[in-house]
Structure 1
């Protein structure tokens, strides 16, 4: 949750300080952070009645948080480094999927 709160505050402060419209990449970043926080919120409060669904949502929260971090890191990069960043992301995800299938 600290990640979500910190990111949201920084984005909001950046918007207020600059007084201009942020690029669409920041809007998508805000959406990703909001979805991560919403999934975390729901997962925590349904855990007593729906423990399996809560565990699935918590795993989805981790996926959303990792995706958000990779997306955030890639925003200022030139296209070649963005592609490299997403290649690392895809390789990481494939590694997790393959190793968890055994």
Structure 2
């Protein structure tokens, strides 16, 4: 039994080096390091925006998914746009997953995949959120989507 436990530990240490007792945590990034007098440095503005954007995007996507799942329960049928919503989320998840695995060898391609995942998540959000809206509000929402996309393209 003890041999099996040692064998299992040796297997787990290879793919998960943080389980090894000699593994020390990485040092904090320079923007989080303490200043000379010992007080922590404030976050740079980009880091603060990033820290707020991830929970906001998660909340919005979860809300859009909940709204999209309510539609078939209320109306009893599945609209075609919910299929595009699911497809956008599948593409986004796949892009992120592939980007994480190829980033050591292909950093530029991984960055492009992550950006395409953000695009797919945004598209899925608009698809999910506009399911219940009347046609006039759908048009306004998709106009805002297209306008946002144009601004992103022009400013990039």
TM norm structure 2: 0.52
Structure 1 residues 25-58: Cα deviation after superposition (integer angstroms, max 9, x where no partner): 2222111111111111111111011111001111
**Which segments of structure 1 move beyond 4 Å, counting only runs of 4 or more?**
none
CA distance in 2, matches of 1:99, 1:92: 11
Residues paired across the two proteins, number? 95
Bigger relative CO (Cα 8 Å, ≥ 6 apart): 1
User: How far 1:99 moved relative to its partner?
Assistant: 1.5
User: How far 1:14 moved relative to its partner?
Assistant: 5.8
Gaps of 5+ in 2: 1-57
TM norm structure 1: 0.76
Bigger share in helix: 1
Of structures 1 and 2, the larger Rg is shown by 2
CA distance in 1, matches of 2:106, 2:124: 26
Gaps of 5+ in 1: none
**Match in the other structure for 1:25:** 81
2:99–2:109 contact (8 Å) kept in structure 1: yes
